Chains A and B, each alone.
Chain A
Amino acid sequence: MLFVRNDSKRFRFCRSKCHRNFNKKRNPRKVAWTKAYRRTRGKEMAVDSTFDFEKRRNRPVKYDRGLMGKTIVAMRRVEEIQQTRDARFFENRMQDAKAEKKKQARVEIEKSIELLAPAVANREEVMRNVIDSAKSRIAARKKSSNKLTTTPNSAMVEG
């Protein structure tokens, strides 16, 4: 999709989602799903020597079968290297993420403890009720089993 502004600048969009967001005059640096956002915030690898291989070249090169073969092999290799580096970058980025998340959760709990306290109290009450009812049920069962033990032979047969 191509949009030509009235100062003759051309804008190519990969999909209508991008076009619509452009029409809303959104800054791609501030929209979290864009590449521009992710790269400027350091969510993705932005500086690397593997990026230097893939470039728009406006100057034609004379056809050379050997060169083409080499290029295709090189492309695969560069892609491989880039993927491993991407994975490593991601791992490095995620190293402290787990600890950080736990820390944030703890802070949040401390902040909103008033919200949680009644719920916890309620839960304790519920648990107490459950325990009491269970105890009474066990007691009732014991009583009934006592009655059964008076006739042990029948119980054995059933068992």
Chain B
Amino acid sequence: MGTGPSAKKFGSRSKLKKYKRKTWLCRRVKDTDQIQDEIEKASETGKPIAFKYDDELPGGGQFYCVETGKHFTDAKALADHKKSRYYKKRCKELKQEKYTQDVAEWASGMTKEKLPPAHAKK
């Protein structure tokens, strides 16, 4: 049981809730709508999502998977990742319509009042 790499990471097996919570928070992956935003922005500006060389990131930040928001050490690792089930699942999720706060508010009947601006531009 628990032979996967993530299970062996420091803090993930902690019984103390505060340590567990901390590791869980800092390893929290990006949400779907965040990635959808990034992709949208990239397509609008025409600039692909790229990183400058950074020693602290795996592979210097040069092998980045946009759909899952992960860095890889080399091109082979990235290619392998793109064959994985996790990647394919994420791609499927990204194709769906974006779920935003506005949609949530509409669903719960908490719409906002639209008013003319208080200080109109002259």
Contact = CB atoms under 8 A, between A and B. Distances in A.
A11 B33 CA distance: 13
Contact of A25 (B31, B96, B111): B31
Interface string A71-104: 0000000000000000000000000000000000
Interface string B91-121: 0010011010101101111111101001000
B109 A27 contact: no
B109 A51 contact: yes
Contacts of A27: 32, 93, 96, 99
Contact of B107 (A35, A54, A58): A35
Contacts of A9: 101
Given A35-B108, A36-B107, A25 B32 contact: yes
Nearest to A27: B99
Interface in A34-56: 34-36, 39-40, 51-52, 54-56
Contact of B113 (A5, A35, A40, A59): A59
A89 B106 CA distance: 19
A51 B112 CA distance: 11
Contacts of A54: 109, 111
A144 to B, nearest CB: 71
Interface of B: 28, 31-32, 34, 93, 96-97, 99, 101, 103-104, 106-113, 115, 118
Closest 9 CB pairs of A and B: A36-B107, A35-B107, A55-B113, A57-B113, A56-B112, A55-B111, A39-B107, A35-B108, A27-B99
Interface of A: 5-7, 9, 11, 25, 27-29, 34-36, 39-40, 51-52, 54-59
